[in-house]
Amino acid sequence: MSRQQRNKLILALVLTLLCALMALVPFNGLEAQGKGVLIIFMWAILMWIVRPIPEYLVGVLAAAVMAIFFGMKANVVAGFSTSGWWLCLWAGFIGAVIKFSGLGERVAYWILVKLTRNELSANYATSLANTVLSLMIPSNTARGAVMSPICDNICEGMGYKRGDHKGDAAIMLSNLYTNTTNTWLFYTAVGANAIGMALVEEVTGQSISWTGWLKATCIPAGIIVLIIPLLTHFLFSGKKGEKRDVNIAFAKKKLEAMGPLSVKEKKAALYFVLTLLAFCTNGIHHIAPDYIVFVTIFLMLCPGIGVCSFKDVGPNFAWPAFIQLGFAMSLATCVNKTGGFQWLVDAMFTSNPVFAAMSPSVFITIWLSFVVVSHIIFAGMNAMEAVMVPVSMTMAAALGFDGYTMGLLTVMAIAPSANFLPFNSAPNLIYASTDRFSTAQQLKGAIPIAILVILGMVFLVNVWLPVIGIL
């Protein structure tokens, strides 16, 4: 056992003991069942942050305790029956199929070859490739796995030595930040968006279309995506006046080795375009995205007309992540049903006269800023969705605000902000494993981006969403 793993286990044991001691603390106004379920949920969140064991096992254990000792039974698997969970599952399969076909890598290398001229253009080219892939591959972890080695090869071609953390940090961090921010731009860019909106729909009965999401986010998210390459170039590029040749021969060789578009790639491209068109025309046919991806998966896996078989992508599919997603949603449902979120909101917000006296726009702005900054303590967006989204809607109901608007904005605030530290997300760890930047450098760049995101949220609340009729 490594020293790091041993420290994680020790910390997990300490936190588990503290959670157990919480049972001795009176939760005035919350019944025993609700108190127990809330404590178990808080324990699960802490374990997802510390990661002493795989996340899905934390979910399994927490669900078992809730079912056996607190009578939740069917509620501990309720998340697996939601449309949001199925949308994430099948969207993940679509991304895996596109990656299997080779189409994703081809698009990335083609953009790199066409646009790269210098270090700044390399930043923009890799960020553009990542954003295009966010349409095709609905997983920022999968995109990180595709783009990270490409960025690493560019750094190598410019002569940067791994571990020096000099100019190579610019390209790698530019792509890391873009990989997170474009999850705000497109509804299907990451599963957490669908998870969060499934929780919103469960409570409010309202949902948002793919085009509705893009209409809401295109201005603030699009501007930030455009600023990121320039910002990282300014903060982390090589010495002033120093010019390095960007050698992208590896990308040209890769494209040559791929040859012309294969039949698999053509089919994957066709089904992707059809899916995107179906998303964009939701206002005409009114078919929900989770049903659209059912059809796409059928076409992609169907013998004869498909791209591949289930056997081809099944072994490499991230099953543990989707198990954890389902349990995260289920545990949040249990807490909500037993009054835990209402109790938290009453204790923290509705009993505070300062918050009660605020106007909706001021309070929402403060809340969304809190959500963005809170990313620094979370490992992944899914745990945040399970906590923040139900709390936000319970809080909205208590303060007389619109629950759907509060829930939607909270999901949007969670999407682009997992930038602060390597452990905040799996893609961050993938990029960090290249040893092209330090943790301090990542935090240095993440802070101004977080400020930009908060400003974007202020713009949404006070300007843009009222214009398009959401607020």
Band of the pLDDT at 242, cuts 50, 70, 90? low
Contact between 280 and 218 under an 8 Å Cβ cutoff? The reply is no
Who wins on pLDDT, 322 or 447? 447
Mean pLDDT, residues 38-42: 91
81, 187: one domain: yes
Q: Judge whether residue 428 has pLDDT over 90.
A: no
Mean pLDDT, residues 51-70: 91
- Residue 343's pLDDT is 84
197, 237: one domain: yes
Residue with tokens 């069917």: 74
Who wins on pLDDT, 141 or 20? 20
130, 24: one domain: no
47, 77: one domain: no
**Of 18, 41, 71, which residue constitutes the final position of a domain?**
71
192, 296: one domain: yes
Residue 185, C-beta contacts closer than 8 angstroms, at least 6 positions apart:
131, 134, 214, 217, 218, 221, 222, 225
Query: Which of 447, 446, 440, 363 is closest to 406 using CA atoms?
Result: 363
Compute the distance between CA of residue 41 and CA of residue 455 in angstroms, rounded to an integer: 32
**Of 71, 88, 115, which residue constitutes the final position of a domain?**
71
- Residue 239's pLDDT is 64
**Please, what sign has the CA dihedral across residues 113, 114, 118, 124?**
negative
Q: At what angle do helices 403-414 and 381-399 cross, to 10 degrees?
A: 150
**Both tokens assigned to 91:** 């969207």
Band of the pLDDT at 16, cuts 50, 70, 90? very high
**Both tokens assigned to 19:** 């959670």
Count: domains in the chain: 2
**Please, what sign has the CA dihedral across residues 281, 313, 423, 47?**
positive
Band of the pLDDT at 243, cuts 50, 70, 90? low
- Residue 397's pLDDT is 82
Q: Judge whether residue 331 has pLDDT over 80.
A: yes
Q: Tell me: the pLDDT tens digits for 198-228?
A: 889 888 888 888 888 999 999 999 999 999 9
Mean pLDDT, residues 82-106: 78
Compute the distance between CA of residue 211 and CA of residue 227 in angstroms, rounded to an integer: 23
226, 242: one domain: yes
Domain containing 33 equals 1-71
Compute the distance between CA of residue 226 and CA of residue 378 in angstroms, rounded to an integer: 26
pTM for this prediction: 0.77
Average predicted confidence (pLDDT) for the chain: 85
Who wins on pLDDT, 356 or 191? 191
Mean pLDDT, residues 427-447: 87
Q: At what angle do helices 319-337 and 83-101 cross, to 10 degrees?
A: 170
- Residue 135's pLDDT is 84
- Residue 323's pLDDT is 84
- Residue 20's pLDDT is 93
Who wins on pLDDT, 418 or 240? 418
Mean pLDDT, residues 128-138: 86
Share of the chain above pLDDT 90, in %: 27
210, 272: one domain: yes
Q: Judge whether residue 294 has pLDDT over 90.
A: no
Long-range contacts: 30-36, Cβ < 8 Å, 24+? 30/339, 30/340, 30/343, 31/338, 31/339, 33/70, 33/71, 33/338, 34/335, 34/338, 34/339, 34/340, 34/343, 35/340, 36/66, 36/69, 36/70
Who wins on pLDDT, 59 or 91? 59
Length of the chain equals: 471
Who wins on pLDDT, 126 or 380? 126
Q: Judge whether residue 241 has pLDDT over 60.
A: no
Contact between 397 and 403 under an 8 Å Cβ cutoff? The reply is yes
Query: Which of 413, 464, 423, 389 is closest to 48 using CA atoms?
Result: 423
224, 269: one domain: yes
Number of other residues whose CB lies within 10 A of the CB of residue 422: 20
42, 125: one domain: no
Query: Which of 126, 150, 141 is closest to 429 using CA atoms?
Result: 141
143, 61: one domain: no
Q: Tell me: the pLDDT tens digits for 340-368?
A: 877 877 777 667 777 767 777 788 888 89
**Of 42, 71, 100, which residue constitutes the final position of a domain?**
71
230, 89: one domain: yes
85, 19: one domain: no
